[in-house]
Amino acid sequence: MPVTDPQQPVALLRLDAAMVQQLSRLQTPIWVFDIDHSRVHWANDAALEVWRSPHLDELLARDMGSDMSESVARRLRQYQLDFERHDARFSELWTLYPKGVPRTVRVMFSGVRLADGRIAMLCEAIGEQHADPETLRSAEALLHTPVMITLFDESGRALYRNPAARSSVANPLNGLWQHFVDPAETDQMLADLRQQGSVLQVSRVNTADGMRWHRVSARRCQDAVTGQQAWLCSEVDISDLKQVEARAQFLAMHDSLTGLPNRHFVNDAFQQRLDQLLPVGQPAVLMFIDLDNFKQINDSLGHATGDQLLRTMAARLEQAMHGNDLVARLGGDEFLIFTTADGADAAVRELGQRLLATLSQPVRLGHHELSVTASMGVARFPKDGNDLGTLMRQADLAMYGAKDAGRNRLEFFSEAMLAKAQSRLGLEIELRRALARREFVLHYQPRCHIGSGRIVGAEALVRWDHPQRGLVPPGEFIPLCEETGLIVALGEQVLEQATIQLERWQRTGVLHSIAVNLSPRQFGSVSLLASLRRIIDASGCDARGLELEITESVLLGNDETTQALLHGLRELGCGVIVDDFGTGYSNLACLQRLPLNSLKIDRSFISATQPSRPLAEVIIALGHTLGLRVVAEGVETQEQLDWLRHTDCDEFQGFLYSAAVPADAFEALVTGPR
């Protein structure tokens, strides 16, 4: 069996005249191989016989490099390094090809310094092997394989290393314990080897190139020399693969835009932190941050600018937090912070406010300088919840609380928020059921001509005919329908009822026009035109009598889409009324370009006395300049109507004449005496 490196390094021998003289006398074939030049540098007579050389000069003239494989050359260079660094000494079974005839000898190798200071290899043929071809070939395979094979004795000392293993070790004297980086893992490996006989694992090992990842296949065996128990390890370097894996792992756990940990990371790491904190009673805080009006910025300045803003905000949050805190991006403009800094509410509030102030510092984005605020919800651990899921939900609720309370602020989670959220959820479930059961009814409020007092139209206003609560006004459910998207389904039911009523009234001559309110979300829905056409056709009404009321805010959206939609409505034959006019910020130039029919002045201008009346008059004049019909809504007193008569206002609507009433009551209003 091969001899291993000596435990005690000796000083490197010098090939001087005395040494040459001594070696010449020996019967053992000995030669010195010059690794740098791939030539024999010197040989004794016995070696000349091994190499089948007639005399020394002939042997020295042979170029051994010409038919040497690259892997052998690399190995020799490694040996040279081993001689130099560790005074390595080892034996290998070598097959030489003197004059092309294979000859297998066991050779002991060690380093020797030449007169010029270079290191050469002293080769000592310690015996000719006449083993069977199988043994010879397997010995060759062991020499050349890139798999690193090491035999350790029971105590972990290296008994043998094949060349690949030898060239990879940090130090040939390293045993099992120095080879593997993690002693606990090595302990476990040995325990498993004793119990199961073999182990397959991926481990970090110390190598000449530093720490690397090796796939290790180890098995229990016996040392063929001593018969003692030993461990045979075969290793393959998989560091490259590990790096790819680590990168993939990183990408899976991080957000590619900001480099911050993402939601997956949060699910793993935040819960782990909580699990560690719970037994020691350490409080912690989860902060949910959402930028205010981010969607608007993104839509108006473009996604590239939006991305840049998110990166800036992410960097600000990271800089503001300490090393132990975690900052993550949950997606969109939502960030999450986990901190254990100081659990006291006052300290948390101060930290939160500091973060909000940092975020709202002006940002330069291309040509724009913006100040973007954020809203923050805070959930405290363990006070508000023990597990990540609960805390996230609560911090999220608190964040919505901050948005509702006016944005750019911080709110702590409270039980009242939870109760509100639960009642909203209850309402949403009820609304879905009500839609399925068609519990919504329409009332109609007359719209009159100011001059003649005649009813010229009606506004359809929805009510929920609740089985227990009776008629529920729209203010109690429209906002939630709008938020949840239920408004689209509700809007269709309203349109269906209104068009059926319109067809009936048009046919019987009661009335020729009904106005229906469209919420912003309905107006933005891609299916609006198609479903309108379907509903109008199904009812058989004359679409010219159908007017749609939209609020001013809808006109502020994307100009082109709004225009296209309005033209679509006009093609269907429908009229368009701008509702609650005067409360938004309409762009007058844009109003001029849009195909509109009427302006409905908001109630607040009508009910207000002196100061706002001139404003109402300006709006009326403006409406007429734009060629629109002007309607006053919320007319409650005779005095208001009298004033309107003195203006140029065309029509009015309000409790003075009638509130919204069921269809049959409306008919009575039209046909009955007044």
What are the residues binding ligand C2E (CB under 6 A)? 445, 461-462, 473-475, 478, 491, 494, 517-519, 549, 579-580, 603, 634-636, 653-655, 659-660
Q: Is 633 helix (H, G, I), strand (E, B) or coil?
A: strand
Identity at 372, one-letter amino acid code: V
Identity at 352, one-letter amino acid code: G
From Mg ion, ligand C2E, none, which one binds at residue 494 (CB under 5 to 8 Å depending on kind)? ligand C2E
Q: How far apart are CA 457 and CA 629, in angstroms?
A: 13
CB-nearer residue toward ligand C2E: 255 or 580: 580
CB-nearer residue toward ligand C2E: 97 or 655: 655
In sequence order, what are the residues at sequence separation of 6 or more whose Cβ sits closer than 8 angstroms to the Cβ of residue 105? 29, 50, 93, 94, 96, 125, 126, 127, 128, 129
CB-CB neighbours of 37 under 10 Å = 13
Q: How far apart are CA 159 and CA 223, in angstroms?
A: 9
CB-nearer residue toward ligand C2E: 518 or 594: 518
CB-nearer residue toward Mg ion: 384 or 580: 580
From ligand C2E, Mg ion, none, which one binds at residue 462 (CB under 5 to 8 Å depending on kind)? ligand C2E
From Mg ion, ligand C2E, none, which one binds at residue 151 (CB under 5 to 8 Å depending on kind)? none
- Tracing tokens 């010219």 back to the chain, one arrives at 544
Helices 486-508 and 415-436 cross at an angle (nearest 10°) of 40
From Mg ion, ligand C2E, none, which one binds at residue 395 (CB under 5 to 8 Å depending on kind)? none
Least distance in angstroms from the C-beta of 581 to Mg ion: 8
Q: Which tokens sit at 620?
A: 């009326």
Quick one: which H or E segment has residue 14?
A: strand 13-14
Least distance in angstroms from the C-beta of 471 to ligand C2E: 10
Least distance in angstroms from the C-beta of 635 to ligand C2E: 6
CB-nearer residue toward ligand C2E: 445 or 598: 445
Kindly provide the b/e burial profile for residues 70-105, where b requires at least 16 CB atoms within 10 angstroms of the residue's own CB. eebeebbebbbebbeebbbbbbbbbebeeeeeebbb
CB-nearer residue toward Mg ion: 290 or 549: 549
CB-nearer residue toward ligand C2E: 50 or 515: 515
CB-nearer residue toward Mg ion: 579 or 651: 579
CB-CB neighbours of 180 under 10 Å = 23
Least distance in angstroms from the C-beta of 475 to ligand C2E: 5
In sequence order, what are the residues at sequence separation of 6 or more whose Cβ sits closer than 8 angstroms to the Cβ of residue 527? 488
**Peptide bond preceding 382: is omega within 30 degrees of 0, i.e. cis?**
yes
Least distance in angstroms from the C-beta of 363 to ligand C2E: 36
CB-nearer residue toward ligand C2E: 183 or 473: 473
Helices 345-359 and 303-320 cross at an angle (nearest 10°) of 140
Closest CA to 474 of 517, 513, 437, 515: 517
Least distance in angstroms from the C-beta of 394 to ligand C2E: 32
Least distance in angstroms from the C-beta of 431 to Mg ion: 20
CB-nearer residue toward Mg ion: 216 or 554: 554
From Mg ion, ligand C2E, none, which one binds at residue 519 (CB under 5 to 8 Å depending on kind)? ligand C2E
N-terminal to C-terminal alpha carbon distance within the chain:
122
Least distance in angstroms from the C-beta of 622 to ligand C2E: 19
Least distance in angstroms from the C-beta of 445 to ligand C2E: 6
Q: How far apart are CA 286 and CA 343, in angstroms?
A: 10
In sequence order, what are the residues at sequence separation of 6 or more whose Cβ sits closer than 8 angstroms to the Cβ of residue 434? 440, 464, 466
Least distance in angstroms from the C-beta of 562 to ligand C2E: 17
CB-nearer residue toward ligand C2E: 279 or 470: 470
Q: Which tokens sit at 74?
A: 């690399």
Identify each DSSP E strand in 208-241 by its residue range: 210-222, 229-237
Report residue 330: phi and psi, to 5°.
-85, -10
Bridge partners of 429, per DSSP, are: none
Least distance in angstroms from the C-beta of 576 to Mg ion: 12
Q: How far apart are CA 41 and CA 51, in angstroms?
A: 13
Interacting residues with Mg ion (CB under 5 A) = 517, 549, 579-580
Identity at 116, one-letter amino acid code: D
